Amino acid sequence: MSGVLSQISALLGYSASSSQTVVVRIGDQLIYGWTSVAIRLGLELMPSTADLTITETSPVTGTLQNVSPGDAAELYIGLDQLITGYVVAVIDTESAESHDIHVQIASKSMDLVDCAAEFSTYQMTSTNALAIAQKVAEPFGISVSSIGGAGDVNIQQFSVILTETAYEVIERLCRLAGCLFYDLPDGNIVLAPVGSDLMASGFTMGENVEQRQHVRSMAGRYSTITAILASNIMLFDPPSSDGKQVDQMKAITAPGNAVVTDLDITRWRPLLIPVENGDADYKMARTRVLWEVARRAGRSRQITVTCDSWRDSAGALWRPNKLAPYTDGNGVSTNYVMGEITLTQNPGGTRADVTLMPRQAFIPEPLLLPMASNEAVRAANS
């Protein structure tokens, strides 16, 4: 057990491993006794953040003397590290009746989100997504790891736009590699596929769920999605003389049978999406329309639960990109991916607000790799 964990264990006693006590390390201070806590973690949320409030009379082991924005900070719940980053702001509010100190903390990845990516060269060849992401994050003291081979995709050609932030570069890389990326508790980031690890327990109405919100929506959903070839060929081909101009236009603009129907949408709601340049056999177009229907359907079925604990039955904290079963009032249980988690603690109690969606809601958009696109375009034009 590391030095800081030993100190926290001595501080919290025998229940430290399962504790829901928030302890923050700033410099050589271990601070607890927060009167208000709000911690936000997410699969599509970067950086992870914490908003903490303490009063001058709270029972703390450390004081907030000499705490300044920019100080290194580590946040623990019991013995579990949750955020490693920096103090963003310290807000001191004082009146005749009270003196509150509000501290805002963000993970190290805030620098990736805020700052420009800098390279010795902005044109890279013969590398892979993970290697480029590691190079992007290195100047900020952030390492990038991989789960299940995520990011191990050969990218023959990749260009960085001069004004892009480091986050934007990594986000674009992960789209090409077909993976996700998010914060780790130690302040580094990880490239990963959509989660498949199941928590020891989940969320059950009438047991650990105090409230749930189930959204069923058709916003952003379409009866058919068709990939079309946006080409000027239609400007130069004369109209069919047999009166079948519609069929002729479909043959020119919608090749490869890249069309999918969403059976849940009974009203006529068509969507057209462009075929990527270089998708010579339209394989990517067919994959893309399938993805469009699946992702939109997944996003339309969102459940948000308010749970009375921050941990599952095995004592593990709820974590983004983990699977957890949700059991409704009829006893029907379905596994969902935890997309966003907000942990709150105040005089009203300790709760977790967790957003759950099906796995397909998080699968990245399939894209044609740059070199493959360029080579196909050259072949078509030769």
Mean pLDDT of the chain: 87
Q: Which residue has the higher pLDDT, 299 or 1?
A: 299
Report the pLDDT value the prediction gives residue 118, as an integer from 0 to 100.
84
CB 191 within 8 A of CB 177: yes
CA distance 311 to 306: 13
Q: Which residue has the higher pLDDT, 329 or 60?
A: 329
Mean of the pLDDT values across residues 169-197? Answer: 94
Per-residue pLDDT tens digits for 121-174: 767 777 899 999 999 999 999 999 999 999 898 888 888 888 899 999 999 999
CATH number for the domain whose boundaries are 203-216+301-361: 2.30.300.10
Q: Which residue has the higher pLDDT, 156 or 83?
A: 83
The pLDDT > 90 percentage for the chain reads: 62
Cis bond upstream, residue 47 (ω within 30): yes
Fold (CATH) for 115-194: Phage tail protein beta-alpha-beta fold (3.55.50)
Report the pLDDT value the prediction gives residue 376, as an integer from 0 to 100.
41
> What secondary structure does DSSP assign to 73-140, as a single string?
EEEEETTEEEEEEEEEEEEEEE-SS-EEEEEEEEETTHHHHHSB---S-SEEEEEEHHHHHHHHHGGG
Q: Which residue has the higher pLDDT, 358 or 230?
A: 358
From 213-227, 245-259, 318-332, the region with the lowest mean pLDDT: 245-259
Fold match between domain 4-106 and domain 203-216+301-361: yes
**241 pLDDT more than 60:** no
Report the pLDDT value the prediction gives residue 380, as an integer from 0 to 100.
42
Domains in the chain: boundaries? 4-106, 115-194, 203-216+301-361, 224-299
Q: What is the CA radius of gyration of the chain?
A: 25
Which residues sit opposite 128 in a β-bridge? 154
pTM of the model: 0.87
**28 pLDDT more than 90:** no
CA distance 162 to 144: 22
Report the pLDDT value the prediction gives residue 342, as an integer from 0 to 100.
98
Report the pLDDT value the prediction gives residue 375, as an integer from 0 to 100.
44
**247 pLDDT more than 70:** no
Fold (CATH) for 4-106: Phage tail proteins - horseshoe like beta roll fold (2.30.300)
**217 pLDDT more than 90:** yes
Report the pLDDT value the prediction gives residue 88, as an integer from 0 to 100.
97
